[in-house]
Every structure is written in structure tokens, then in C-alpha cells.
A and B are shown apart, each in its own frame.
Chain A
Amino acid sequence: MVFSSIDFLFRFLPIFLIGYYIAPKSYKNLIIIIGSLIFYAWGDGWYTLLLLLSVFVNFIFGKLIAGHGQPNQTRKARLIFLWTAIAFDFGLLILFKYTDFLIENLNLIIKIFGAQIPAAHMHLPLGISYFTFMVVSYQVDVYRRDISAANNIVTFGTYVAMFPKLISGPITAYGELSQDLRRRNISIANIEEGLQTFIIGLGAKALLADNMSTLWAGMSRYGYESISCPYAWLGAVGYSFQLYFDFFGYSLMAIGIGTMLGFKIPKNFDHPYASSSISEFWRRWHITLGIWFKKYIYFPLGGSRCSTLKIVRNTFLVWAFTGLWHGASWNFVLWGLIFFGLIMLERFCIGKYLARTHVLKHIYVCILIPLTWVVFALRDMGDIGVYFSRLFPFGGSPDFVTTRDFWNALGSYWKLLIVCVVCCLPITEKMYKKYKDNIIIKIVLIAIFVASVIVIHTSTNNPFMYSRF
């Protein structure tokens, strides 16, 4: 069940919220868990048991790692427990997400000997990439004594399974929520504010991302070899907006629901397309994922406080894993490594020159980022090659390619593109924040809500792009 569906908006959410608000304080976490399990089972049936297993196992390991009840627990024992927990969590993730990818690549090697392993066709449980990262962060933080282990399975279960951020994040550390998990303030003002955030997210998803999605879907219809150079660029830009408003919208909805429930969920986006470098882009895009990699991979490896060679190695590992996290496919690895290359280039070569420019640095980001998304969007390496030959048609174009496709698409999408650009600008949010309590803004938001619901009702469902990962 996705947030932008009639089922969620008019069935699940209202019933859940009523139950949540009328329940006594001490039962509210339990209501969240029950609601989240229903939410999960609605989408993924029996895999709910996997989620429950993860909650139980990690709760017990959290206690063991903390050394509860045994103050003399040695550091070594705690470390063993930590690694066991990590092995369990990543084991599940690898099993469900990467088995087929491993088999596929193993097959390429053993083909020489005439052997083949059949694909396992594993089903990717909803949100497993996200909740795995959350529980691993929990275990590491407990080990580091940054937080104390949850002493109540309901509290811990609420943290892991909380439905607003279960499917696609934000990936929140336990420490950020631990206070809210124990005691939180629920008021009508919170509900009003949460609703406001939620509706903006809903609008971004239903009105911008979903409308934009038809542009990218149309690119492949007659084959990438058929598209003209300007159309290829338009498609890349359209996809960039689609992906951003899809995931940004989802994150806002998660934060909005969190606020309605009394939680402060950290934000995931901060005007990424207005960044002035690729490194900065990644501090503003999917912020919680970037923080996770920094905290649990980059820093433990030595971060930036080591030799140049080690910095390169650490950055390489972070980006190879970031790529793989997004999907079990080589295009994602390539995509991650492109960022590794770009970030290293900025760090050691062009960064300081770029910073001195005013407009150029933004042009640089706005050209490079859509190109990286093309690699991200196309699973097939051959398709990526063809698409780039259309983006940069130095080898000439086939006879049947004309720029008519570009003008036709521009004719249909120019208004939407302008709205998307405006919504990406930091000034828009600034203005919104200034006037957000104004009655006119609220009426506009009600109109956005109504328009979104009508669009959702009349169109076939568009699942969130980021929930696949």
C-alpha cells in the first residue's frame, strides 16, 4: 500500500489515526506496531513475519551488545555479539536482494565449464534495505555506547516498524527518536502541521512526479536509437524531476505522518538540484542515507583523516556500496562509481576553481546530475550506451531521427517543467515558510489535496520509485 493511494488515504490512515488518538498514552506505541504490521501485510503478506523476526532478533542482540545484566561483559564479547547481529541483518538483506545477482554473475564465470545455476527468483521484501540499515545503525550505536539499548520490545518495534518510514525511510538513528518513542507531545497543532507537510508531499508525488513519469516512459517506446539529441536531454531532465519529486514527496509524507503522531523525523532532502557541487549534492539528496554511509562505513575506515590513498579507498568503498544498495545490478555499481570519480575529481582537482564561480558551478551540477540519473534509470548496459550516443551524437544520427520528438514533448511538458523548476528553488520554500500559516496558503493546500486525490483516483497506480531498492 503506497501513501498516494485511495486505500491508504481514505481507509488505512483515518482508521489508524482515530485508533491512535483515542488510545491511552501507554498503548500508543502498541497501536503503531499493530498499524504498521497491517500496513506491511497489506503490501507484502507473509513477509511481515520476516520483519517481526528482525525486530525480535535485533532487540535481543541489542541487549546482549549493551551487556545488560552482566556489567562485567567484556568488550570482546560485545564485539562478537555486534558482528553476529550485523551478519544476521546483512545476511537477510543479501539473501533476499542479491542472491540472483550473485548467481547471474557466478554463471558468467562457470559458463566456461558448462555449468549453470538456476535463478532463485527471490522476492524483495518491502523496505528491507531501509530497515536493515536502521537496525544495523542501532546495534553499532549501542556498541559504541552512543545510546542505551531499548529496554522494551514495543519501543524497539515501534522504532523499526513505524509505518511512515518503514518502506522508504528516512533512515533514522535510534538516538534521534528515542525520546519521542518514550514520551511525545500530541496536539491538534501537531496534526495540523503534519497534515500540511503531508499534503505538500502528496502534491509533489501525485501532481508533479506522476505527471512527469509519462515523459520518461515515452522515451523507450520506440527504442532509444530513435530519439533525437535534444529529446534525450529533455528526457534526462524529466527523469531527474520525476525521481526527485517522487522520493522527496514520499519523504515529506513520511515526515508529515510522523509529525501527526508526535515524532520528529529528520528531513531527507534540502534542495539538491540547487547544489554547487556534486559533493554538496550528496549532502542534500537522500541525506539520511549519506549520513548512514558516513557514520558506519566512511568514518570507521578512517574518513578523511588519513593518507590520500586511503581517502580514495574509503570513498571508493562508500560509493561502490551506495551503488549496490540502490539495486542488485551493474548499472547501479557503475552509477555509484561515477559519483566516486566526480567527488574525487572535485576534491583533488577542480573543486577549488569551481567554488570561485557563481553560475558555472550550478550549470555544472545541472548538466552532470541528469546524466548520472540516466545511468541510474537504465538497467541494461547496452541501453546506456545507446542513450549516451543520443545525448552526444558525435557519431551521427540514423536517418529516421528528427527533432520533432523534442518539440512535441516540449509542447506537452513545458508548463510542468516550469512548475518543477520553481519547486526546486530554495526561494520557493523560503517564501512558503514565511507565509505557511496564511489562510490563502492553506486553501491552496486543500486544493492541492483535492487535485491529488482526483488524479490518484483516476489514474492507475504508480508505486514509489524508491521503494524498489
Chain B
Amino acid sequence: MNSIISTLKSYTLLVGVIAASVVLIIVFLFQKENDKTSIKPSGEMSISTNQATEEIHQPATFATDSSGNKITQTSTISNQSDIPLETDITQSISEPTDTANNSASPQFKTVEDDYFYDSLFIGNSRTVGLSLFGSMPKEATFYATVGMNIYDLMTSTAQVPPEEGPEQSFESVLSSKQYGKVYIMLGINDLGTGTSESFAEYYKSIIDKIHMMQPNAIIYIQSIINISAERDAQGDAISNSNINEKNALLEQIANNDYIYYLNINEVLIDSNGYLNSDYTSDGVHLGGGSLSLWENYLYSHAIVK
């Protein structure tokens, strides 16, 4: 007995590591079973092509018709009453989508700093850069983290202001104050997840939730900024064709009533549609010296009511 104990003692590590490995393997296998139903997207810029095809979110719990309107329990509503069908559909949703305004181009105005005092900027690392190196008014609120994606946003927490302030949940940032404007810059971390349609649907559902909590805010969808030719050439899910496809769908979400689409790419891309390589070093993020292009665009593309 004693000899067994002394032998075990001199091989503590071996025994311990084998025991720990067995436990870890069991835990991992157990986790894998659970993950089959709910898979989290991976971190920023680490999307590999196989993940892109394997990890498909199923965020949409509602169906859509051809024009992109949500349909919920419409089958019983469309009867022979004199209320138009369209109203029926939208009534069943918490907020109306005014499709009539969709075609009219919005009247953008140029504004001063005070326009942004009651604004909320929601975003990923690109918006973190705007907060860290940009010169937007200090009164604006920034809710952004590196790697933020649309699926995590609602349940996320972040340092406010980014990388500097205390950790706050998105929920509390939305409920603590009424904002006049909400600027959203998301999507680059979602390129490898799901389809463009499921992306746009989920994006819309986020806007709906924000609108519910911030009914008076103008919500700006900022186009996903394109990437440089060099980054595009890497040939993974992060490609301009993928971004363009998603941007086209994001543009359709705008109702020009309280949701507006800002095509920031207008001032950032070259003649081939790539993010101008002078403005970026990693091909994805704007350099500190180029943020003024983005800022000037926001200053000159404001809706004043």
C-alpha cells in the first residue's frame, strides 16, 4: 500500500494530467452536444470559411413576404372588411413600416456639433476607432466593442465609452436615456454567419427593438464600410461582394420615416468599389487620419425634423 502511494506521489503530474484530460474531454463532449442547438459566432476577423458555412444562426422566428414586411398571424386578418390588407399586416406588428415613403429620397441637411449631443453610436471595432481617434462631440454616447455582431448586441455589455469607461449592458444604455439619434454600424463581423437575407431580417428586428425603446429617435443605418482590394483578395467570407449584397438589403430597411440609410461608402471607396487603401492599414478599419471623412459625411447627412 505504502509503495503504491509513494509511486503515485512521484508521478503526480502524470496521474493528474491523465485524470484532468479525461474530465476535460467529457466536459467538451457534453458541451458539443449542447452546442448543436445554439452555436455562438466566433470573434472578429477570425471567421474561417468552414465556420461560415457550419455556424448558421436561426434568429428569424418570423416569416417574410416578398416585399420584406414581416407577417405575423395574417391569415385570419385578411377578410372582406374595408381595411386594406397592408394595414392589417402592419397592425399586427408593434410598429408600422411605412412603405409609401420608401421611394422618396431623404432630405439631408448639414448640421453642427449640437446635433450629436443626444446621439447614440452603436457599433463594432470600426465605431470603437471613431470613438478613440475621431472628433465627434464628447456628449455623444458610444456603445461599441471590438468584434460586436448583430446577434450578440442585444445581450451584450461594453465599456462606455469604448475601451475606457465602465462596463454597461446594452439594455441599460438604451433604457437609461432617450436619444434623439441612433447611428448603427454593424455587419463586418456577421459576414460569415447565415445568409444575407437572415442577416437583414435580424438587423431589422434589432432596429424594431431599438425603436420600441427609443420611439422618438431617428435611426441611421450606416452602410457596412467596404474593405480594401488587398483584404478582399484574401478570399474568405470577408469580401466586398458579400458586403455589397448585405448593404443592398440594409438600404431596403430604411423607411425614410424614422429609419434612414447612410451610404458612407460614397466618400470612402475608389473607382473599383474597394475601400481606398490610403484610408486604412489593415484593409478593414479606417486609420485615425481618415476618420474625418466619415465624420464629415455624418455632419452633412443629417435629418432635421
User: What residues make up the interface of A, taking CB atoms closer than 8 Å to B?
Assistant: 6, 9-10, 14, 188-189, 191-192, 195-196, 199, 218, 220-226, 383, 398-402, 404-405, 408, 437, 439, 442-443, 445-446, 449-450, 453-454, 457, 460
Assembly CA distance A224 to B289 (angstroms) = 10
Q: Which residues of A sit under 8 angstroms from B48, Cβ to Cβ? A: 460
Q: Contacts of A450 on B, CB cut-off 8 Å? A: 20, 24
Interchain CB contact under 8 A, A443 and B133: no
Indicate if the CB atoms of A6 and B28 lie closer than 8 Å.
yes
**Interface pairs A-B: 3 shortest CB-CB:** A223-B287, A226-B288, A446-B16
Residues of B within 8 A of A10 (CB): 21, 24-25
A446 contacts B164, C-beta separation under 8 Å: no
Interface 9-mer from B71-79, B261-269, B278-286, B297-305: B278-286
Residue B129 at the chain A interface, CB threshold 8 Å: yes
**Cβ distance A65 to chain B, nearest Cβ, rounded Å:** 43
Contact B11 A405 (CB under 8 A): no
CB contacts between A and B, total, < 8 Å: 103
| A404 in contact with B164 given A220-B282, A222-B285, A460-B42 (CB within 8 Å) | yes
Check B14 for interface membership: any CB of A closer than 8 A.
yes
Q: How far apart are the CA atoms of A443 and B9 in the complex, in Å? A: 11
Question: Chain B residue with minimal CB distance to A214?
Answer: B146
1/0 contact trace for B150-183 toward A, CB 8 Å?
A: 0000000000000110000000000000000000
Q: Do A383 and B133 have beta carbons less than 8 Å apart?
A: no
Chain B positions within 8 Å of A405 at CB level: 132
CB pair B288 A223 closer than 8 Å: yes
Is B13 an interface residue, CB under 8 A from the partner? yes
Enumerate B1-59 residues with CB–CB distance to A below 8 Å: 9-14, 16-17, 20-21, 24-25, 28, 42-43, 46, 48
Residues of A within 8 A of B24 (CB): 10, 450, 453-454, 457
User: Are A192 and B285 within 8 A (Cβ)?
Assistant: no
- List A contacts of B25 (CB < 8 A): 10
Bound-state Cα–Cα, A221 to B290, Å: 13
> Which listed residue, A222, A449, A454, touches B17 by the CB 8 Å rule?
A449
Expressed in whole angstroms, the Cα–Cα distance for A223 and B146 within the complex equals: 15
Residues of B within 8 A of A453 (CB): 20-21, 24
* A226 surroundings in chain B (CB, below 8 A): 129, 132-133, 287-289
**12 further contact pairs, Cβ within 8 A, besides A14-B21, A223-B287:** A192-B10, A192-B13, A221-B285, A222-B285, A222-B286, A223-B282, A223-B288, A398-B288, A402-B133, A437-B10, A449-B17, A450-B20
CB nearest to A454 among chain B residues: B24
A220: B residues at CB distance < 8 A: 281-282
Chain A binding surface SS class: helix
Q: A460 to B11: give the CA distance in the assembly, Å.
A: 32
**Interface residues in B, total, Cβ within 8 A:** 36
Return chain B residues, CB-CB under 8 Å to A445: 13
Given A460-B42, A460-B43, is A446 in contact with B289 using a C-beta cutoff of 8 Å? no
Chain A contacts for B281, CB-based, 8 A? 220, 222-225, 383
Are A443 and B16 touching (Cβ within 8 A)? yes
Contacts of A400 in B (CB 8 A): 133-135, 288-289, 291
Most buried by B among A14, A199, A222, A400: A222
Known: A223-B281, A383-B281, A449-B17. A408 touches B164 (CB 8 A): yes
A-side contacts of B146, CB under 8 Å: 218, 221
CB closest chain-B residue, reference A14: B21
Does B256 have its Cβ within 8 Å of any Cβ on chain A?
A: no
Cross-chain contact of B9 among A14, A404, A439 (Cβ < 8 A): A439
Selected from A401, A449, A454, the residue in CB contact (under 8 A) with B288 is A401
Determine the chain A residues whose CB is within 8 A of the CB of B285 once the complex forms: 221-223
- Contacts A223-B281, A453-B24 given: A398-B289 contact, CB under 8 Å? yes
B16 cross-chain contacts in A, Cβ below 8 A: 442-443, 446
Interface contact A225-B17, CB-CB below 8 Å? no
How far is A17 from B282 in the complex, measured between Cα atoms in Å? 43
B14→A191 contact, CB < 8 A: yes
Task: State the Cβ distance, B282 to closest chain A Cβ, in Å.
Answer: 5
The residue on A at minimum CB distance from B163 is: A408
CB-CB < 8 A to A6: which residues of B? Answer: 28
Could you list some 26 contacts between A and B, CB below 8 A?
A: A6-B28, A10-B21, A10-B24, A191-B14, A192-B10, A192-B11, A195-B13, A195-B14, A196-B13, A222-B132, A222-B285, A223-B281, A223-B290, A224-B281, A226-B288, A400-B133, A400-B134, A400-B288, A400-B291, A401-B288, A445-B13, A446-B13, A449-B20, A457-B28, A460-B42, A460-B48
Contacts of A196 in B (CB 8 A): 13
Contact check, B14 vs A192: say whether CB atoms are below 8 A apart. Answer: yes
B288 and A443 form a contact (CB under 8 A): no
- The reply to whether B287 and A222 form a contact with Cβ atoms under 8 Å apart is yes
Cα distance, A398 to B280, chains bound together (Å): 16
Residues in A neighbouring B291, C-beta threshold 8 A: 400
